């Protein structure tokens, strides 16, 4: 005989379970930093888009079987991006994550950091629970070529790119548009799916939309 759980209790239980999984990630990994130190270069529209991406990323992380612990770095409480996150994201002030004004490079040993940037020569092969992965808090319109790559080089931190070139091919389209630059929530969905499946094609399919001009190699036949 199955016992029915009243909705209030089940919601409370699920919230507690989510909190437990997130706090476990804080101690044992995986960990993800979103580098927001470059947000002062952005327009109001770009800040709104970035705040929306943070909301979607956090929502996906809460649902994950194996969530990341997220740290928003270079994030000052009197900044326009902070105000935009509060305005756009219900409950932002109670998000289960770390918020700090410090730079990601001063928070963790440099040898544990991996800055994910499409300009890296090195394809990401695996997600290592002992590493801290960094995503640059930039949106498409504000991309300055190699800005995140140069920042990682400046601190002698390892870089990696998603293995799009290894598992996907250009799909010729009317606009002849091809881009490996993804929103931070799309990159997160790829990392999260890979952590769950250990399957790069499946993970890339989750985060690389057809509008980017790439399809999986086995889709070409």
Cβ atoms of residues 159 and 114 within 8 Å: yes
Tell me the C-alpha distance between 75 and 81, whole Å: 8
Tell me the C-alpha distance between 96 and 23, whole Å: 8
In sequence order, which residues have a C-beta less than 8 Å from that of residue 187 and are 6 or more positions away?
116, 135, 162, 207
Q: Does residue 163 surpass a pLDDT of 50?
A: yes
**Maximum average pLDDT range among 19-28, 79-88, 212-221:** 79-88
Three-class DSSP category at 219: helix
Q: Does residue 61 surpass a pLDDT of 80?
A: yes
Cβ atoms of residues 161 and 205 within 8 Å: no
- Taking the CA atoms of 191, 197, 198 and 203 in sequence, report the sign of the dihedral they define: negative
- Residue 122, classified by CB atoms within 10 Å of its CB into exposed (0-12), middle (13-18) or buried (19+), is exposed
CA angle 188, 209, 48 (to 5 degrees): 60
- Mean pLDDT within 138-164: 83
CA angle 205, 211, 213 (to 5 degrees): 80
pTM as predicted: 0.86
Tell me the C-alpha distance between 130 and 29, whole Å: 7
Instruction: Give the pLDDT confidence score for residue 162 in this predicted structure.
Output: 95
Res. 41 pLDDT band, cuts 50 70 90: confident
CA angle 25, 160, 178 (to 5 degrees): 115
Percent of all residues in the chain with a pLDDT value above 90, rounded to a whole number: 53
The domain segmentation of the chain, as residue ranges, is 17-162
Q: Are strands 31-35 and 69-73 parallel, antiparallel or unpaired?
A: parallel
Res. 185 pLDDT band, cuts 50 70 90: very high
Greater pLDDT, 110 or 6: 110
Q: Does domain 17-162 have CATH number 3.40.1280.30?
A: yes
Res. 84 pLDDT band, cuts 50 70 90: very high
């Amino acid at each position: 005989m199955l016992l029915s759980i009243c909705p209030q209790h089940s919601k409370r239980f699920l919230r507690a379970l989510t909190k437990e999984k997130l706090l476990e990630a804080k101690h044992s990994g995986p960990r993800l930093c979103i580098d927001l130190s470059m947000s002062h270069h952005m327009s109001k529209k770009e800040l709104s888009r970035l705040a929306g991406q943070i909301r979607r990323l956090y929502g996906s992380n809460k649902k994950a079987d194996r969530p990341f612990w997220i740290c928003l770095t270079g994030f000052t409480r009197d900044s326009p991006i902070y105000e935009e996150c509060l305005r756009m994201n219900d409950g932002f002030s109670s998000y289960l994550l770390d918020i700090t004004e410090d730079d990601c490079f001063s928070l963790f040993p440099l040898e544990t950091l991996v800055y994910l940037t499409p300009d890296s020569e090195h394809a990401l092969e695996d997600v290592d629970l002992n590493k801290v992965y960094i995503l640059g808090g930039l949106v498409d319109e504000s991309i300055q070529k190699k800005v995140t790559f140069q920042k990682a080089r400046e601190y002698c931190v390892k870089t990696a790119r998603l293995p799009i070139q290894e598992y996907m091919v250009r799909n010729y389209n009317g606009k002849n548009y091809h881009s490996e630059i993804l929103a931070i929530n799309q990159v997160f969905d790829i990392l999260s799916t890979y952590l769950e499946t250990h399957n790069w094609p499946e993970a890339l399919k989750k985060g690389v939309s057809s509008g980017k001009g790439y399809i999986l190699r086995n889709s070409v036949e």
